[in-house]
Chain A
């Protein structure tokens, strides 16, 4: 850490060590990037059975009070008051230019809104909230909780084996469950494109819960490396790559996160630009990028069309489910059609690139 701050550990730190994780600093946290079998094996196991990820570095924030919904609505393009009890929404903190300050999940349980925000943006987001919340609105950063993600086609079976009744519990729902006397707050959601769950629970219960998941024999521990390749294949954006303060949700293909009600009211930050882009199309678009050979193209590489720079790669690497390189990037709108041929400025010889539809791997959500 260059800023002199000590690196933070999640409640599962000793668990990771015991399972031979390779730990790396990430957003101020000491996190497992992979375990012994490596990123490809963890990725494939998640797509075929289930992967278990520690995502306790993400910040869990509760917002409550009479003005909580109005306060959150003022910072996002979501229909906050329309979020039903036990429902989850993907949302965005926007600036006045329509740029994305962060992306987040907002769930509602009774009168409480549960926010999960990116680890690297947690300090920013909490300051942003505190600056704009009404004096009567209460913010609680739940640092007493762990958060784990169980992702993959066997995830529901695994929770069933642990005694949870998932009847009528669907994608983007939020519910409390009991696990041997421990309260689990579970959303059916994730960041892999697979069916799966994000499970918030008391920090002290996290290791026992993960051990129970492993005891089913269906679960592979997966680190941040596999989390990144899985989300890239699923075409899901990562703040700092596909999202930042200069990128609008429309450019990033997140028009679905701008609710109809808020579009009609045009009352969210950056509404003028975003509504204009929804009508007339953005100048640039997030696209999938497939490289011609075996060599991956990486974040930051310039994309050209007839020698003219028309965009750049924002996330690039190897896609284990495709068994070939894949990338995400922004290109000028006229070059965004699937099938468009571009050249990437890789060192030595340029790499031929074809614009590809997103996601690379179809989503398997339980709707």
Chain B
């Protein structure tokens, strides 16, 4: 299952594990990324928490967790290879994985068609 948040995160759900990244549209809007900060593994987050930061040349942007649970993995390879953060790769470049407390957290997220309609 693939869903999108209003803040341009995507969520790919596999069992009770949610893989979370940011959309191609978000990558385009951020521009040149110069630094990213990912959460610590083991951190407990609630839906809507700012858990990661993308720093572009111009500004810092928070990345929110679209669901509550425990951070069980982060894509630290991405933090070391910022050039890999492109719109083309955005749907493959997951940032962190959350073991969900309540899959119902994802109920109010958009499906892909709804998200595409929002950014048009």
Q: A317 to B57, Cβ gap below 8 A?
A: yes
Determine if B34 is an interface residue (Cβ-Cβ < 8 Å): yes
Shortest beta-carbon distance from B28 to chain A in Å? 9
Determine if A270 is an interface residue (Cβ-Cβ < 8 Å): no
Q: B58 to A40, Cβ gap below 8 A?
A: no
* Given A39-B57, A295-B55, A320-B57: A225 and B35 interface contact (C-beta under 8 Å): no
* Given A295-B55, A296-B55: A318 and B34 interface contact (C-beta under 8 Å): yes
Q: A40 to B32, Cβ gap below 8 A?
A: yes
- Convert A22-40 into 0s and 1s, putting 1 for each residue whose CB lies closer than 8 angstroms to a CB of B: 0000000000011000111
CA distance A318 to B37 in the complex (A): 15
CA distance A228 to B58 in the complex (A): 9
Q: A294 to B34, Cβ gap below 8 A?
A: yes
Determine if B118 is an interface residue (Cβ-Cβ < 8 Å): no
Instruction: Please name all residues of chain A whose beta carbon is closer than 8 Å to the beta carbon of B37 when the two chains form the complex.
Output: 295, 348
Q: B32 to A298, Cβ gap below 8 A?
A: no
Instruction: Please name all residues of chain A whose beta carbon is closer than 8 Å to the beta carbon of B42 when the two chains form the complex.
Output: none
Query: For chain B residues 29-61, which have a beta carbon within 8 Å of chain A?
Result: 31-32, 34-35, 37, 53, 55-60
Q: A229 to B57, Cβ gap below 8 A?
A: yes
Shortest beta-carbon distance from A172 to chain B in Å? 29
Q: Which of B35, B53, B58, B60 contacts A39 (CB 8 A)?
A: B58
Instruction: Please name all residues of chain B whose beta carbon is closer than 8 Å to the beta carbon of A229 when the two chains form the complex.
Output: 57
Shortest beta-carbon distance from B47 to chain A in Å? 20
Q: B59 to A318, Cβ gap below 8 A?
A: no
Q: A34 to B31, Cβ gap below 8 A?
A: yes
Instruction: Please name all residues of chain B whose beta carbon is closer than 8 Å to the beta carbon of A296 when the two chains form the complex.
Output: 34-35, 55, 60
CA distance A228 to B59 in the complex (A): 12
Instruction: Please name all residues of chain A whose beta carbon is closer than 8 Å to the beta carbon of B55 when the two chains form the complex.
Output: 295-296, 318
For chain B, the bracket of interface size reads: 10 to 19
Q: Which of A225, A347, A348 contacts B57 (CB 8 A)?
A: A225
Quick one: closest A residue to B34, CB to CB? A318
Query: For chain A residues 212-238, which have a beta carbon within 8 Å of chain B?
Result: 225, 228-229
Instruction: Please name all residues of chain A whose beta carbon is closer than 8 Å to the beta carbon of B32 when the two chains form the complex.
Output: 38-40, 318
Query: For chain A residues 89-117, which have a beta carbon within 8 Å of chain B?
Result: none
Shortest beta-carbon distance from B48 to chain A in Å? 17
Shortest beta-carbon distance from A36 to chain B in Å? 10
Q: B34 to A325, Cβ gap below 8 A?
A: yes
CA distance A318 to B35 in the complex (A): 9
- Convert B105-116 into 0s and 1s, putting 1 for each residue whose CB lies closer than 8 angstroms to a CB of A: 000000000000
Shortest beta-carbon distance from B54 to chain A in Å? 11
Query: For chain A residues 43-67, which have a beta carbon within 8 Å of chain B?
Result: none
Query: For chain B residues 16-38, which have a beta carbon within 8 Å of chain A?
Result: 31-32, 34-35, 37
Quick one: closest A residue to B29, CB to CB? A22
CA distance A140 to B57 in the complex (A): 38
Shortest beta-carbon distance from B10 to chain A in Å? 22
Query: For chain A residues 221-278, which have a beta carbon within 8 Å of chain B?
Result: 225, 228-229
- Convert A300-337 into 0s and 1s, putting 1 for each residue whose CB lies closer than 8 angstroms to a CB of B: 00000000000000000110100001000000000000
* Given A34-B31, A295-B35, A296-B35: A40 and B57 interface contact (C-beta under 8 Å): yes
CA distance A104 to B34 in the complex (A): 32
* Given A39-B57, A317-B57: A225 and B31 interface contact (C-beta under 8 Å): yes
Shortest beta-carbon distance from A296 to chain B in Å? 5
Looking at B37, B55, B56, B57, the one whose CB has the most chain A CB atoms below 10 A away is: B57
* Given A34-B31, A39-B32, A294-B34: A318 and B60 interface contact (C-beta under 8 Å): no
Q: A225 to B58, Cβ gap below 8 A?
A: yes
Quick one: closest B residue to A34, CB to CB? B31
Instruction: Please name all residues of chain A whose beta carbon is closer than 8 Å to the beta carbon of B58 when the two chains form the complex.
Output: 33, 39, 225, 228, 317
18 residue pairs of the A-B complex, CB under 8 angstroms, read: A34-B31, A38-B32, A38-B57, A39-B31, A39-B32, A225-B57, A229-B57, A294-B35, A295-B37, A296-B34, A296-B55, A298-B60, A317-B57, A318-B35, A318-B56, A318-B57, A320-B57, A325-B35
* Contacts beyond the supplied A38-B32, A325-B34: 17 A-B pairs with Cβ under 8 Å: A39-B32, A39-B57, A39-B58, A40-B57, A225-B31, A225-B57, A225-B58, A294-B35, A295-B35, A295-B37, A296-B34, A296-B60, A317-B57, A318-B34, A320-B57, A325-B35, A348-B37
- Which residues in B have some Cβ–Cβ distance to A below 8 Å? 31-32, 34-35, 37, 53, 55-60
- Which residues in A have some Cβ–Cβ distance to B below 8 Å? 33-34, 38-40, 225, 228-229, 294-296, 298, 317-318, 320, 325, 347-348
